[in-house]
Amino acid sequence: MHVEHSATQIGYACRHTPELMPLPIVAAHRLSRRLEVALKDGAAQFLSPDGQVQVAVEFRERSPVRIHNIGLTAALSEGVGVDEIRMVEELLRNETIPAAFEGLSVAPDHETRILVRTVPAAGEGMGRHSGLTGRKTADDGYGGFCRQATGSLSGKDPRRIDRTAAYAARHIGKCVAAADLAGECEVQLSYCAGQDEAVSLAVDTFASGRIADDEIFRRVMRRFDLTPAAIAERYRLWQLPADNGGHFYARLAAYGHNGPGGSRCAVGGCLGCC
C-alpha cells in the first residue's frame, strides 16, 4: 500500500480521563450521548433529534480543575407549551447534565454556570446545521484541545494516510500516557507522496514527561513500523468492518474516532513500559 498524497496528522493522549482523552471533548460527547438517550427512551418526550452542547473547563498548569460553563441547546417538537418547555429544561438540568459527568475527575460545582436553552424544532435539524464549512475535524479528534491537522478521517478507507496516520499517532500518544511516561503527549506524523516511510515524527509532552522527549522519540522509532501498510495491518483496519457487522467505520462518524480504550495500550507495539 502506498501513500496517495502528502499529509500530516496529529495524535494526542493525556491522563484527564480513563479514555486518555482531553476532559472537554469527553464531557461534551458524554453530554451529547445523554441528550440522545433522553430522546430515545422518551424521558423527554418533546425533544427533537437536534441539539448542541458546550463544556468550558478551567485549567491550571495544563490540568483541569473545574467546570466553568455548560451550555446545552435542545430543539423541541412543534406546538410545545410553556409548562412542557419548563419540564424539559428541568430534566436536562437536574438529570441529564449530572449523569454525563459521573465517573469523571471534575464535575460541575455550585459556581458552574449552566445555561439550558430550548428552541422550536421548525427551522432546525440537519438542513440548517450541515453548514458550508464541511465536517468539523475537531469533533472527530480532540475538540481543538491540541493542534489539529486539516485532513478529515470520516469517509476514507485505510488506503488514505489521513486515517492511518491519525490512528498511529493517537496510539503512540496513548502508549506514552498509559505507561505514565508523561501526563500528556502529542505526536505529529508527516508523509510525502510516493514514500511509504514517514518523513517526520515529532513528540511533545509539554514538559510533563518522566523521561526526556528525545528518549520517547527513540523508543517509538525502535518499536513502531510507521509505513501505511504496517499501520493498517497492526490495527486490522481492513478487517474491522467485517468483524463488526459491516458498520465499524460508520459508528465512528458520531462521537469521534478516539473512543474509549481504557488506560492500557489498545493493540500491540507498546513502548515496553506498560
What is residue 128's predicted lDDT score, i.e. its pLDDT? 56
Q: Domain check: are 93 and 35 in the same one?
A: yes
CB 184 within 8 A of CB 205: yes
User: Which residue type sits at 131?
Assistant: G
Last residue of a domain, one of 76, 107, 129: 129
Residue 239 lies in a domain: yes
Q: What value does the mean pLDDT of the chain take?
A: 84
Q: Domain check: are 115 and 67 in the same one?
A: yes
Q: Domain check: are 122 and 154 in the same one?
A: no
pLDDT tens for each residue of 179-234:
999 999 999 999 988 888 999 999 999 999 999 999 999 999 999 999 999 999 99
3-class DSSP state of 188: strand
pLDDT tier at 261 (50, 70, 90 boundaries)?
A: very low
As a whole number of angstroms, the distance between CA 14 and CA 102 comes to: 19
Q: Domain check: are 239 and 153 in the same one?
A: yes
Q: Domain check: are 87 and 160 in the same one?
A: no
Q: How far is CA 31 from the centre of its chain?
A: 13
pLDDT tens for each residue of 88-105:
888 889 989 999 999 999
Q: Domain check: are 118 and 172 in the same one?
A: no
Residue 26 parent element (H or E): helix 23-40
Residue 274 lies in a domain: no
Q: Domain check: are 125 and 151 in the same one?
A: no
What is residue 127's predicted lDDT score, i.e. its pLDDT? 57
Q: Domain check: are 64 and 84 in the same one?
A: yes
Residue 125 lies in a domain: yes
Last residue of a domain, one of 129, 161, 179: 129
Q: Domain check: are 108 and 29 in the same one?
A: yes
Cα–Cα nearest to 209, from 9, 11, 10, 14: 14
**Burial 185-219, CB ≥16 within 10 A → b, else e:** bbbbbbbeeeebebeebebbbeebbeeebeebeeb
φ and ψ of 254, to 5 deg: -125, 135
Last residue of a domain, one of 73, 97, 129: 129
Q: Domain check: are 167 and 235 in the same one?
A: yes
Whole-Å CA distances, 242 to 156, 168, 237, 238, 239: 16, 21, 10, 8, 6
Q: Domain check: are 156 and 76 in the same one?
A: no
Q: Is residue 8 predicted with pLDDT exceeding 70?
A: yes
Range of the domain at 79: 23-129
Q: What is the pTM of this model?
A: 0.85
Q: What domain count does the chain have? A: 2
Residue 137 lies in a domain: no
Q: Domain check: are 56 and 93 in the same one?
A: yes
CATH number, domain at 213?
3.30.300.10
